[in-house]
Amino acid sequence: MTDTTYQYDVIVIGAGHAGTEAAAAAARLGVRTALLTTNLDTVGQMSCNPAIGGVAKGQIVREVDALGGLMGQAIDATGIQFRLLNRRKGPAMHSPRAQADKKAYQNLIKYQIECIENLDLRQETVEDLIVVSQGTERRIVGVKVRGGAEYLAGAVVLTTGTFLQAIMHTGEAKTAGGRAGEGTTAGISGALRRLKIEIDRFKTGTPPRLNARTIDYQAVEEQPGDEEPQPFSFLTGRLSISQLPCHITYTNQKVHDLIRDNLERAPMYSGQINSRGPRYCPSIEDKVVRFSEKDGHQLFLEPEGHKTQEVYVNGISTSLPRDVQDKMFRLIPGLENASIMRYGYAVEYDFCPPTQLWSHLESKTIGGLFFAGQINGTTGYEEAAGQGLIAGLNAARKIKQFDPWVPTRDQAYIGVLLDDLVTAGTDEPYRMFTSRAEYRLLLRQDNADRRLTPIAQELGLITLQRAERFTEKMRQIESAMQILKTSRVEQVAGDTYLRRPEVDWAEMCQRIEALRPINAEAAQQCVYDIKYEGYVTRQKMEVEKQQRLSTKRIPANFDFHQIKPLRNEAKEKLGRVSPQSLDQAKRISGITPADIALILAHLESPSKKMGNHQNDSK
């Protein structure tokens, strides 16, 4: 080993939301970890909107926190407005969201990373991957960085965001880079192609930012935060912060006419961009074309921090030319005199279709190489953080020669995310929605710690402080439930009385004095456990039914072509995904119940039961 060779157990490339969670998780498991990034000043940076959480995304943040991750505590410490979305709906739909002080959030994440044992943060630009072959198998052993130095490790996690071969578009103008003011990364894309990793292209966009002092706030609608803000982290007590309001305004027919008159100058419509973008978060150009019957679209004016005048205009992502963007704001109420600080743009970038990965995010063809975040075709800070934590955890477990761990679809939204990606892939930037989770009543944001913290403790992911806090919460829940079951209210047991729709916890405390010491967090869990017991029981029965399919494992490298009655389309799709169970196989797009029956019959054939299957080697 030379003076320019460095030895680690795990190397993480990229220090965004996926990379920081991956590196932190690996280091928490006690393996020597290096986090390499091209610019130390952008560790944990919010590339786009200044917010954490939202519908389904908030659930993921709570899960990341329950597993010992960084994101929840960071947003609690730097948030400037907190709101619980969907309050009028049932608890399965409640989703926390917070506006962040962007710079404060970024600086705190960087500081947290710098303080973690077993973790070295270094400014390096990775230009190549070092892979060796052993017979028919390949495995990664390290990376080469600009200047010729090498970092060697048994596992490498790629979290490159939108920086692979990235091009930014504003009208006809094109600039190399994955984020305004920054460059692109070409070496890793070349290395992946050389290693026969499939690469495709996606597109995403960002809106302009305005100077707050040039906005007419008298002409727009104020949107305050919650009076009692709810924290994201299970370690955070009561939040006591000075919240900043957001504001709402709308586009109008004049804006839409201006956009239509300039569509030929929009890269998405001129043919300059051919990559697919996020359908659920369209640009303003797409909105005007796809929803031509609407005469207005809602825009949210979101402050980016306490010590900046910069305002993010959520809802008007665009890659229209600068002069069109200037004219567009002159026509929007409250923004007629607004000064643009940053113009909107679209960015095209490389990603690697995630069906090339096992569910624990390791490459199927190169041992020790893990992928997390937007390189897997996802979008969003929260989806990236969830993947990063799982990839970092499993990279460390590989070094320790432990089996990988992945949450299942009934355990976490993160489990739904991973299963969707590796089983079905994605033909547009993937975003989590509550509708993607078939067991969402089990996967509420309020019970993420009850679902995942005991597992995290077994995996070695959490601190003693978090374990003790969770134990105390469970003690309070058990105590409250025992009091309810043994107390009588109007001649019925307390838990039976609480089932009544009109009865809340405050009334129960008035009727049963012993309940008053129970804290609000434990009380909420008792209320939900009792009021939704029947629905939860039914979902658990469905989970058990599906688990019977999950237990029927499919051997590694199983050759589906030897099942002669199986349709050719099914053979091709099953071979590409390599499902690990019948449950996963049935979720592959285009796979029918008849296909599953044929596979099951083959797996249960006498020769298979006798262990004669030539590919049953795992």
pLDDT band at 280 (very low <50, low <70, confident <90, very high): confident
**DSSP tag of 3:** T
Q: Which residue carries 């080993």 as its tokens?
A: 1
Residue 449, token pair as written in the block: 């710690």
Q: What is the mean pLDDT of residues 237-243?
A: 89
pLDDT at residue 131 greater than cutoff 90: yes
Closest CA to 577 of 566, 567, 565, 590: 590
- Which residues does 395 contact at the CB level (< 8 Å), separation at least 6? 10, 12, 22, 26, 155, 156, 157, 362, 368, 370
Q: Convert 593-616 into a string of H (helix), E (strand) and C (coil).
A: HHHHHHHHHHHCCHHHHCCCCCCC
pLDDT band at 612 (very low <50, low <70, confident <90, very high): very low
Q: How far apart are CA 376 and CA 354, in angstroms?
A: 5
- Which residues does 556 contact at the CB level (< 8 Å), separation at least 6? 578, 580, 615, 617, 618
**DSSP tag of 81:** E
Q: What percent of the chain has pLDDT over 90?
A: 76
Q: What is the mean pLDDT of residues 254-267?
A: 94
Q: How far apart are CA 204 and CA 45, in angstroms?
A: 17
Q: Would you say 17 and 41 are in contact if contact means Cβ atoms under 8 Å apart? A: no
Q: What is the mean pLDDT of residues 88-114?
A: 96
Q: Which CATH class is domain 463-540?
A: mainly alpha
pLDDT at residue 616 greater than cutoff 60: no
- Residue ranges per domain, the chain? 209-343, 463-540, 551-609
Concatenated DSSP letters of 146-182: TTS-EEE-SEEEE--TT-BT-EEEETTEEEE-SSTT-
- Domain 551-609: assigned CATH number: 1.10.150.570
Closest CA to 84 of 72, 96, 92: 96
Q: Give the helix/strand (H/E) hosting 200.
A: strand 200-206
Q: How does the average pLDDT of the chain come out, rounded?
A: 92
Enter the pTM of the model.
Answer: 0.90
Residue 98, token pair as written in the block: 């917070």
- The count of residues in the chain is 618
Q: How far apart are CA 25 and CA 155, in angstroms?
A: 13
Q: What is the mean pLDDT of residues 551-564?
A: 88
pLDDT at residue 363 greater than cutoff 90: yes
Q: How far apart are CA 397 and CA 327, in angstroms?
A: 54
Rounded to a whole number of angstroms, the CA Rg of the chain reads 26
Among the residue ranges 3-7, 71-75, 544-548, the one predicted with the least confidence is 544-548
- What residues are paired with 185 via a beta bridge? 164
Question: How many Cα neighbours within 13 Å face the side chain of 37?
Answer: 23
Closest CA to 503 of 483, 523, 479, 473: 523
Q: How far apart are CA 539 and CA 274, in angstroms?
A: 42
pLDDT of 267: 86
Name the CATH architecture for the domain at 209-343: Beta Barrel (2.40)
pLDDT at residue 206 greater than cutoff 70: yes
